[in-house]
A and B are shown apart, each in its own frame.
Chain A
Amino acid sequence: MFARLLGESFARNPRRKVLTAAALVIGMAVATATLTIALEVGDRLAREFRSLGANLLVTPESDTLPVEIGGVDYRPVDEGAYLNEADLGKLKTIFWRHNILGFTPFLDVPAYVSETGGATTLIGTWYKHEVPVPDGTKFETGASATHPWWKVQGRWFQDGADECVVGAGLAEKYPAAFAIGKTIHLTQNQVSGDGRPLVVTGIISTGDAEDNAVLLPLPVAQEISGHPGKFRQLFVSALTKPADALAERGERAQTDKNIQLTPTEYDRWFCSPYISSIGFQIRTVLPGTDVHAIRRVAETEGRILTRVGTLLWIVTLAALGAAALAIAATSATTVLERRAEIGVMKALGASNALVGGIFLAEQVLLAIAGGAIGFFVGAGLARFLGESVFGTPAAPRPILFPVVLALAAVIAMIGSLVPLRRAAHFRPAVILRGE
């Protein structure tokens, strides 16, 4: 009988049902889209912080500060100390070697570009480079591992080839000289004639100083600067444990003689992948260096993404609230319209729970239908939104399907609560009088 009542009730007033379902579809589509994006944001944050890009910067001890004016390094080439490229394989021998996810040497060389006649900075680096490790294996690493957020339009240079990628800032300033496929000539000083020819293979945007530099394979930069086998900075991407009291004590103990770790403390510190302990281990294999923890751009990016996430949650709540209101409105009309029938049922001994149950079951059925459609619409919306927020479509999340259905049901029930309470207060005697 319940099924019969429900079925009949369901079949009636299809236009209002469609309206209710539409409110649910829209609400659930927005909820699905925003939840998908919010999950995507969360995932991206996690991934970004996991692969965090570089979080350690290794420089020669007492290196001179770069004299940078307008993104151009005016330090004399010979000033400052250099590090040996050949030592880099040792990074994969330290205690926490498996936590070293990648590293990239940088060699910055002040230079002139013949085509523009302007001074610029060359950055010699690796994109994907195989580093021989002392144990005989090879470790492939480079900017692809340490700077995953760098975006190249066109393609990266090949390791060791006479190619380069040009910072987006430079390319914008000199679109004619730095177009993909063009050859540029680099010289160490303004006067010398021909210079080293390099083919531009891509335009890079990093959101940082590299946007105003020319990136080229490390060996080429070493050759131009006359420092074969050398580099100046090393970005290391390491999986680290967030700092705690022990991490700080361990770090201070290295500079402050007054702080002494007990042997067990030291062991615990050394055997925890803190930035300070990994830094300490790096210094043992690369003597004469300073290791600094760096906070990447990701942090600002992360903050923005977090805010986007918060915003999305608010939008989700608003969409759900709007859907609930729409349902409240339609179900209030329904209850009012069917009060005669409700009155008769109550007169025949139907309990409030039963009458309410019929209406609720109907709303929940609608909610499930609306929620299911809304999920697919929302998944499509998320693809589109993801495209505009991240540049890549957000993948649909099947796990959201039951969540969205449950949400829809809850919303439908919340929306029906007030009208149903009204129905419970209907006095059959009054209704049956026909007033």
Chain B
Amino acid sequence: MATLVQVENLRKEFGNVRALDGVSFRVDAGEWIAIMGPSGSGKTTLINILGGLDTPTAGQAVVDGTDVARLDEAGLTRFRAEKIGFIFQQFHLVPYLTAVENVMLAQYFHSTTDEKEAQQSLERVGLGDRIEHLPSQLSGGEQQRVAVARALINHPKLILADEPTGNLDEANEEIVLSLLRELHNEGHTILMVTHAPSIGRLADRRIEFAHGHLVQAAVASLKPELA
């Protein structure tokens, strides 16, 4: 499998806080990775750097052949629009746009809007009947499904999900996780931050963080249920 993400000696400092302290690992295309570790260990920081939302202090973070550490502001903007699909814990939908418009927004920033395609993508996450709803008219799980549809709409190389189920109840968590599983089965590459070991076990591989270090970058550990 081709390497999609290659992180080399990545460091990120916020003042004198070392959020990432020399992190190195690789992710192959099509892998589903769970990033785990205690609060404040640098998980979100890593996701942000890989997604071009933040820049590292030192080191390399190559995604699909692009070292995000070397991109300027405009380059990062394009990179986000073209290569990354974000799913956030707080959903981060635009409150005054309907579900379909939220999806179309990502299309718009990427290139041009296509309402049909946006609708199909909502149908795919099971929201075919919620297309014209505002985020405030949707449940948390439904909002997160809109966010998933939005993350997928531009066919990103890499899906970054920072605690995607952190704000959801069990039923909705199950829906979102099964969506991720589907995406994985279709060949998408997913980096997912989670605290829950039960969720972490769904991934192909877990990367454990502690104090900005990698505790265990398991060498292609197989899924437990397959082991």
Contacts and interface: CB of A to CB of B under 8 A. Distances in A.
Interface stretch (A209-217, A273-281, A338-346, A388-396): A338-346
Interface secondary structure of A, over-half rule: helix
A350 interface: yes
B113 to A, nearest CB: 5
B108 A1 contact: yes
Interface string B83-105: 00010101011111100010011
A361 to B, nearest CB: 15
* Residues of B contacting A: mostly: helix
Contact of B44 (A2, A345, A433): A433
Interface residues of B, number: 30
A369 B181 CA distance: 52
Nearest to B49: A429
A1 B95 CA distance: 15
Contacts of B80: 346-349
A345 B90 contact: no
Contact of A349 (B54, B95, B104, B110): B110
A432 B44 CA distance: 11
Contacts, number: 67
Contacts of A352: 73, 77
Contact of B53 (A1, A4, A12, A432): A432
Contacts of A135: none
A7 to B, nearest CB: 10
Q: Interface size for chain A: under 10, 10 to 19, 20 to 34, or 35 or more residues?
A: 20 to 34
Given A1-B108, A354-B109, A347 B53 contact: yes
A5 B95 CA distance: 11
Interface in B41-85: 44, 48, 51, 53-54, 73-74, 77-78, 80-82
The 4 closest A-B pairs by CB, nearest first: A349-B81, A1-B108, A429-B54, A429-B53
Interface of B: 44, 48, 51, 53-54, 73-74, 77-78, 80-82, 86, 88, 90, 92-97, 101, 104-106, 108-110, 113, 150
15 contacts: A4-B97, A5-B105, A8-B97, A344-B94, A345-B94, A346-B80, A347-B80, A348-B81, A348-B106, A348-B109, A350-B109, A351-B74, A427-B53, A429-B54, A432-B53
